[in-house]
């Protein structure tokens, strides 16, 4: 290979410069110095990513609207969905906490999945548009605000504490939320941002 055609890549953790080599499907290149992941060739094509993000977007609705659980205590039964729980926290005066939960568990995942879904659609159908650059930037930004797993873990901790105090029945919302979290984790581990960025028209990069 002509050395001027070689693509160099720097390790994000230890700054070691290396020549980028073509990888087989599913292969991961790691840094020989610190062992961090450098780049990979995802087994998930943009079309598969489109299907995953669409499934996650559909699941987001019942995960927010259907009851996560129903709780029976001293003869009375109460059900609560994710949205109802957030509203309850808001009405109790914890505006900042309610807003944070709403952003991290609903708004950010929705916008992140929507951005990635649109970007996957554009790449899958080879549509030439300047929007791809914006969508990839939004996806990168929103990934840091999407914290579904944090919400689920805190919910499970609260659930374990309540088990002795009340009869708990798990709801459809929790099943949808758990599925959503699994699909979201798959999306984040399969999403190869660098291969998506290679599809951005060169005049859109400023």
Q: Is 14 in the site for Zn ion (CB under 5 A)?
A: yes
- The C-alpha atoms of residue 136 and residue 120 are separated, in whole angstroms, by 10
Hey, which residues between 17 and 36 contact Zn ion (CB under 5 A)?
A: 31, 33-34, 36
Eight-state DSSP code of residue 21: -
204 binds Zn ion (CB under 5 A): no
Nearer to Zn ion, 33 or 137 (CB): 33
The site for Zn ion, by CB under 5 A, has a size of: 8
In whole angstroms, how close is the CB of 31 to Zn ion at the nearest point? 3
Nearest in space to 205 (alpha carbons), one of 134, 116, 145:
134
- Find the shortest distance in angstroms from Cβ 181 to Zn ion: 30
Q: 6, 10, 13, 88: which one contacts Zn ion (CB under 5 A)? A: 13
- CA 104 – CA 102 distance, rounded (Å): 6
Give the length of the chain. 206
Give residues with Cβ within 8 angstroms of 59, minimum separation 6.
176, 179, 180, 183
User: Quick count: other Cβ atoms within 10 Å of Cβ 44?
Assistant: 19
3-class DSSP state of 31: coil
- Determine the interface stretch with Zn ion among 13-21, 115-123, 139-147, 172-180 (rule: CB under 5 A): 13-21
String of contacts with Zn ion for each residue 133-172, x by CB under 5 A: ----------------------------------------
Tell whether residue 69 is a contact of Zn ion (CB under 5 A): no
| Nearest CA among 147, 182, 177, 146 for reference residue 159 | 177
The residues that touch Zn ion, with contacts defined as CB under 5 A, are 11, 13-14, 16, 31, 33-34, 36
């Amino acid at each position: 290979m002509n050395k001027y055609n070689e693509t160099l890549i720097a390790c994000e953790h230890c700054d070691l410069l290396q020549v980028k080599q073509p990888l087989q499907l599913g292969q991961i290149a790691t840094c020989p110095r610190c062992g961090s992941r450098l780049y990979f060739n995802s087994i998930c094509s943009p079309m598969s990513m489109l299907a995953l993000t669409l499934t996650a977007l559909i699941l987001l609705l019942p995960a927010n609207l259907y009851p996560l659980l129903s709780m029976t205590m001293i003869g009375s039964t109460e059900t609560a969905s994710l949205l109802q729980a957030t509203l309850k926290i808001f009405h109790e005066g914890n505006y900042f906490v309610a807003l944070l939960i709403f952003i991290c568990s609903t708004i950010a995942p929705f916008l992140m999945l929507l951005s990635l879904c649109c970007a996957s659609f554009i790449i899958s159908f080879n549509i030439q548009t300047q929007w791809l650059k914006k969508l990839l930037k939004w996806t990168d930004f929103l990934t840091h605000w999407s914290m579904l797993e944090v919400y689920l873990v805190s919910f499970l901790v609260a659930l374990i504490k309540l088990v002795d105090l009340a009869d708990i029945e798990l709801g459809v919302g929790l099943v949808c939320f758990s599925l959503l979290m699994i699909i979201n984790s798959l999306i984040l581990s399969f999403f190869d941002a660098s291969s998506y960025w290679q599809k951005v028209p060169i005049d859109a990069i400023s």
